[in-house]
Amino acid sequence: MYFQFTLFLCTQPTSPDRGWLIPFLPDGFAAYLILASSVPALLLTILLFMDQQITSVIVNRSEHKLKVNILQLVFLYGIKVEEK
């Protein structure tokens, strides 16, 4: 199969005074804002990590083990038979 990609060979930016690369930081952006925003981001990361760890400890306690009722087993068996 043969494809022609001549359209991609002649592409150019939409404005001649603008290049292909977009500047990462806009003009007048204070560099200290990067450090100032990294502190709350780090604290939020720690908070979410600890939330996940505490939740998993609570859920996996021995008194919270899964107790299956006989009706649940019959229900699951009925679903399995119905799929066949």
Contact 20, 13 (CB under 8 A): yes
Share of the chain above pLDDT 70, in %: 76
Choose among 42, 44, 46, 66: nearest CA to 54: 46
Predicted model pTM: 0.47
Please write the tens of the pLDDT for every residue from 45-67. Answer: 999 999 999 988 888 887 767 67
Distance CA 79, CA 84 (A): 9
